[in-house]
């Protein structure tokens, strides 16, 4: 019979679904395993990246289940977001309708892939039974002082018509639509993620199961730096100018101060000086430039004396105050001390404007002088021109001077972070409304818990004006204050969708709970996620927000885990012709087509076989055909071997039996280790292919029934996590009544692996010259003897003198000769 994948896949998908084969509940008798793949945004169609992501996860889930774990493997929808709203504007379709239709399509596609999800746990973030709890968490954060409203310069995406968090801006462009980001001063809601900066950084150490790359990216993003914040005093006005520096050891080398153009003191200090007008012009000029070009490393440093002087607190020296493009208002205190001799940026600036260069750190082996320096000296050395600190090693001086400043009350040792608070307001409709009311009398009032969810009204006018459409919906906007009953208005912004995805993995543990976001028992049983799988594009965004959430929830006593995701696998991209698949390049291969033409098992096997999961994968139509051929080969092999299982004409050949048994157990070992230790599915599949090749060669040989059966059953079981349908069908055909996916994972017998004769390599001067077969337990001396008496070796050694021989038992002999 032909391998009819279409019939087979449909048959089993239906059966698995009706029998609820993948339903899971808490079970204290088994170890739990939570296998999670990043849930998709329901764009309408599955792409190859999804297929890869979910195939990888499915192998892990199925394997762990067979290995005896109680496996939670859920799926859901990250369903709030801009595309739905844009589609609504474009096609006059309501976002909720658009989203639901997409979900329905994508759910069908996922089901066609034969993934082992417990669909009873499906969650959808745009449904009120979910976003009620998203709002509830907002209130929790508000209660804990972690949600606050602040007026500040924020990132504005003109194309998405909303503000964005820092993490959502890449190289000055919107992460979603690549439009250039503008700066706007607005009052917005923030989460105090900076309160957790240090824990987010420190706890990365608790994540040995995460890729180094991702941890490093988070580390850099958090950007911790230790230093001193000290104040200079403005000469005339006596204003304190706070300056952050990581190099207090160079304090005697300060020859000027630079304030960011937006620094409030710039205007104040220049007032009434001859520079006043010039400063105003400079500021205007800076404002016109966008953030990216102004702060780019390539942009030339540009600055202006503001007409005022400051006093260096350590030596009372009078130094000029400047403003310049290269100082950023939103890092540190928005002001820096200029030390041209020991900072390259300051050096360039000082050279350009003829400012003093004072050497205060001297290298140990030579001396430098400010006259002929061509660049700043940023390396270590000892202090000079630094009063009582002269001669000190500068690395020590950092601490010594820091302590001195604290004692003298001119500065504080301080830690600065690059990380900023998470801006969560969005001026868009399709998101969870922020559960806040503004009362004329009481001010900001959180919505009482019992009034949740704040329902998103469905009858709404879409027209992106840069304000939320909710603002024009009176029945939503106008409300009563829960405190005083007086007239009040609702917050009309919605929450960043990353808020919805920061807690969805808890909800899977208890998806239908109407009283709580999740019950304590269930969340404690399942969390943390044992294996999380998804794209590296979330290395900072989703993964850091979720870690932050977890820590807040832990502090609130809602969960017990320190970290939500114990192990993380970031899968590589799916490429075609070396490029990422994308509509604009026109190199997209649709999963639908592939499933239609070859079936889901083929698609899965190809994708898992073509590259290790963490590497990029080059799509190959020929490769897909290869995977298809392989499955057909398995189909024929099982048919043929099974046919011959009963008729044992002739005595079974012991040697063939042993070989078949050996390959069976060898394959069990290899596949188990490849999945378990390294997620190397490509080599696991190649081992199964090798086994199939050996079995093929033995079809016409006399194998005993037991050995044949053992080989066949194990072959199907080993292949079942990769190709669940064909293996299930063949399993039934060889007479099994219980699903293959409920079988225990096989164990291998070390004894069977042992070969009586092994081949060893004989090298002369490190080059292979001969191979010989020897008994497996041969001693070192015997090996050496046999090597030396080998004809080919003798031939090679004819005119040479043996210097020494190296014997690696069971592997090789290397004869060193001259």
Partner RNA sequence: GCGGGCAUGGCGGAACUGGCAGACGCGCUAGACUUAGGAUCUAGUGGAUUCUUCCGUGGAGGUUCAAAUCCUCUUGCCCGCACCA
639 lines the binding site for RNA (CB under 7 A): no
In contact, 312 and 232? CB cutoff 8 Å:
yes
In contact, 427 and 462? CB cutoff 8 Å:
no
Which one of the spans 98-106, 113-121, 439-447, 685-693 is the region binding RNA (CB under 7 A)?
685-693
As a whole number of angstroms, the distance between CA 55 and CA 610 comes to 13
The structure tokens listed for 78 are: 């990250």
In contact, 608 and 722? CB cutoff 8 Å:
yes
As measured in angstroms, the least distance from the Cβ of 236 to RNA is 24
625 lines the binding site for RNA (CB under 7 A): yes
Among positions 122-181, residues that touch RNA (CB under 7 A) are: 170-171
Q: Contact with RNA (CB under 7 A): which of 55, 125, 245, 497?
A: 245
Q: Contact with RNA (CB under 7 A): which of 17, 182, 616, 747?
A: 616
Sign of CA dihedral 280, 284, 287, 290: negative
Cβ proximity to RNA: between 109 and 168 the closer is 168
Among positions 190-219, residues that touch RNA (CB under 7 A) are: 212-213, 216-217
Three-state DSSP at 160 gives: coil
611 lines the binding site for RNA (CB under 7 A): yes
The DSSP element (H or E) to which 569 belongs, if any, is strand 568-571
Cβ proximity to RNA: between 295 and 513 the closer is 295
As measured in angstroms, the least distance from the Cβ of 536 to RNA is 7
In contact, 324 and 349? CB cutoff 8 Å:
yes
Q: Contact with RNA (CB under 7 A): which of 96, 273, 296, 587?
A: 296
As a whole number of angstroms, the distance between CA 246 and CA 211 comes to 30
As a whole number of angstroms, the distance between CA 444 and CA 143 comes to 12
As a whole number of angstroms, the distance between CA 281 and CA 46 comes to 53
Cβ proximity to RNA: between 141 and 336 the closer is 336
As measured in angstroms, the least distance from the Cβ of 344 to RNA is 8
Q: Contact with RNA (CB under 7 A): which of 489, 554, 636, 658?
A: 636
As measured in angstroms, the least distance from the Cβ of 170 to RNA is 5
680 lines the binding site for RNA (CB under 7 A): yes
State the DSSP code for 393: B
Among positions 500-539, residues that touch RNA (CB under 7 A) are: 536
State the DSSP code for 517: S
The DSSP element (H or E) to which 337 belongs, if any, is strand 335-338
First to last CA, the chain: 65
345 lines the binding site for RNA (CB under 7 A): yes
13 lines the binding site for RNA (CB under 7 A): no
As measured in angstroms, the least distance from the Cβ of 221 to RNA is 6
295 lines the binding site for RNA (CB under 7 A): yes
612 lines the binding site for RNA (CB under 7 A): yes
Would you mind telling me the total number of residues written for the chain in this entry? 818
Q: Sketch the per residue contact string, 249 through 288, with RNA: x for CB under 7 A, - otherwise.
A: -----------x----------------------------
Q: Sketch the per residue contact string, 769 through 808, with RNA: x for CB under 7 A, - otherwise.
A: --x-----------------------x--------x-x-x
Cβ proximity to RNA: between 325 and 664 the closer is 325
In contact, 648 and 705? CB cutoff 8 Å:
yes
Among positions 696-715, residues that touch RNA (CB under 7 A) are: 696-697
CA distances from 183 to 84, 170, 418, 796 (A): 26, 14, 18, 77
Cβ proximity to RNA: between 103 and 581 the closer is 581
Q: Contact with RNA (CB under 7 A): which of 96, 412, 632, 704?
A: 632
Among positions 386-425, residues that touch RNA (CB under 7 A) are: 416, 418
Give Cβ neighbours of residue 348 (< 8 Å, ≥ 6 apart): 301
In contact, 261 and 142? CB cutoff 8 Å:
no
629 lines the binding site for RNA (CB under 7 A): yes
As measured in angstroms, the least distance from the Cβ of 326 to RNA is 3
Strands 256-259 and 318-324: parallel
Comparing CA positions, the residue from 722, 727, 711, 817 lying closest to residue 769 is: 817
Comparing CA positions, the residue from 593, 495, 503, 507 lying closest to residue 553 is: 503
635 lines the binding site for RNA (CB under 7 A): no
The DSSP element (H or E) to which 640 belongs, if any, is helix 621-643
As measured in angstroms, the least distance from the Cβ of 745 to RNA is 19
Cβ proximity to RNA: between 345 and 708 the closer is 345
Q: Contact with RNA (CB under 7 A): which of 314, 546, 763, 793?
A: 763
Cis peptide before 528 (omega within 30 of 0): yes
Cβ proximity to RNA: between 300 and 596 the closer is 300
Q: How many CB atoms lie within 10 A of CB 104?
A: 12
811 lines the binding site for RNA (CB under 7 A): yes
102 lines the binding site for RNA (CB under 7 A): no
As measured in angstroms, the least distance from the Cβ of 760 to RNA is 8
Q: Contact with RNA (CB under 7 A): which of 294, 351, 554, 736?
A: 294
């Amino acid at each position: 019979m032909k391998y009819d994948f279409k019939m087979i896949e449909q048959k089993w998908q239906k059966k698995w679904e009706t029998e609820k084969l993948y339903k899971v509940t808490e079970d204290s008798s088994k170890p739990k395993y939570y296998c999670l793949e990043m849930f998709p945004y329901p764009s309408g169609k599955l792409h190859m990246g999804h297929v890869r992501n979910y195939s990888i996860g499915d192998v892990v889930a199925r394997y762990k289940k067979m290995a005896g774990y109680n496996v939670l493997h859920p799926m859901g929808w990250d369903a709030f977001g801009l595309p739905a709203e844009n589609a609504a504007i474009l096609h006059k379709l309501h976002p909720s309708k658009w989203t639901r239709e997409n979900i329905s399509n994508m759910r069908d596609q996922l089901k066609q892939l034969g993934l082992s999800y417990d669909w009873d746990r499906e969650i959808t973030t745009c449904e009120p039974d979910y976003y009620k709890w998203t709002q509830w968490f907002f209130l929790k954060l508000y209660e804990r002082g972690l949600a606050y409203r602040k007026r500040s310069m924020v990132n504005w995406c003109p194309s998405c018509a909303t503000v964005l968090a820092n993490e959502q801006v890449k190289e000055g462009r919107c992460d979603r639509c690549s439009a250039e980001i503008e700066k706007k001063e607005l009052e917005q809601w923030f989460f105090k993620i900076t309160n957790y900066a240090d824990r987010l950084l420190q706890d990365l150490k608790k994540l040995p199961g995460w890729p180094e790359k991702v941890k490093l990216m988070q580390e850099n993003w958090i950007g911790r730096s230790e230093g001193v914040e000290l104040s200079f005093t403005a000469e005339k006005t006596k204003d304190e100018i706070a300056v952050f520096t990581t190099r207090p050891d160079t304090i005697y080398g300060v020859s000027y101060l630079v304030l960011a153009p937006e620094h409030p003191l710039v205007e104040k200090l220049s007032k009434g000086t001859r520079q006043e007008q010039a400063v105003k012009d400079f500021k205007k000029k800076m404002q016109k430039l966008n953030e990216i070009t102004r702060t780019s490393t390539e942009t030339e440093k540009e600055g202006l004396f503001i007409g005022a002087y400051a006093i260096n607190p350590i030596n009372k020296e009078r130094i000029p105050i400047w403003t310049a493009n290269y100082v950023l208002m939103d890092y540190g205190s928005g002001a820096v001390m200029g030390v041209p001799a020991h900072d390259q940026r300051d050096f360039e600036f000082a050279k350009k404007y003829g400012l003093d260069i004072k050497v205060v750190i001297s290298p140990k082996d030579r001396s430098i002088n400010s006259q002929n320096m061509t660049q700043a000296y940023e390396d270590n050395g000892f202090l000079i021109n630094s009063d009582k600190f002269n001669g000190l090693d500068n690395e020590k001086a950092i601490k010594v001077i820091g302590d001195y400043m604290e004692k003298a009350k001119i500065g504080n040792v301080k830690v600065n972070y690059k990380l900023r608070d998470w801006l969560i307001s969005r001026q868009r409709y399709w998101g969870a409304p922020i559960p806040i009311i503004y009362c004329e009398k009481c001010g900001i009032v959180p919505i009482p818990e019992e009034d949740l969810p704040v329902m998103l009204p469905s009858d709404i006018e879409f027209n992106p004006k840069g304000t939320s459409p909710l603002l024009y919906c009176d029945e939503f906007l106008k409300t009563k204050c829960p405190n005083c009953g007086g007239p009040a208005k609702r917050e009309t912004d919605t929450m960043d969708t990353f808020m919805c995805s920061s807690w969805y993995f808890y909800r899977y543990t208890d998806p239908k709970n109407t009283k709580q976001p999740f019950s304590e028992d269930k969340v404690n049983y399942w969390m943390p996620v044992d294996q999380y799988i998804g794209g590296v594009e979330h290395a900072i965004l989703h993964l850091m927000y979720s870690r932050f959430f977890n820590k807040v929830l832990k502090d609130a006593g809602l969960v017990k885990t320190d970290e939500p995701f114990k192990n993380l696998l970031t899968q590589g991209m799916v490429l075609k012709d070396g490029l990422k698949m994308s509509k604009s390049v026109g190199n997209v291969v649709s999963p639908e087509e592939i499933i239609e033409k070859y079936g889901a098992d083929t698609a899965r096997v190809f994708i898992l076989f073509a590259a290790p999961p963490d590497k990029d994968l080059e799509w190959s139509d020929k490769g897909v055909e290869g995977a298809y051929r392989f499955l057909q080969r398995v189909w024929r092999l099982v048919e043929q071997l099974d046919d011959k299982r009963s008729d044992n004409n002739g005595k079974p050949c012991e040697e063939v039996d042993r070989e078949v048994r050996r390959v069976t157990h060898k394959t069990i070992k290899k596949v188990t280790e490849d999945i378990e230790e390294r997620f190397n599915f490509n080599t696991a599949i190649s081992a199964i292919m090798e086994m199939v090749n050996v079995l093929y060669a033995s079809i016409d040989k006399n194998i005993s029934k037991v050995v044949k059966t053992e080989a066949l059953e194990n072959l199907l079981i080993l292949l079942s996590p990769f190709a669940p349908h064909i293996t299930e069908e063949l399993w039934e055909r060889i007479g099994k009544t219980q699903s293959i996916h409920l079988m225990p994972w096989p164990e291998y017998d070390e004894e069977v692996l042992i070969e009586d004769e092994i081949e060893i390599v004989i090298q002369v001067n490190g080059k292979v010259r001969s191979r010989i077969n020897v008994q497996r337990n041969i001693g070192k001396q015997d090996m050496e003897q046999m090597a030396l008496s080998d004809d080919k070796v003798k031939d090679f050694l004819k005119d040479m003198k043996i210097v020494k021989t190296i014997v690696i038992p069971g592997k090789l002999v290397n004869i060193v000769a001259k």
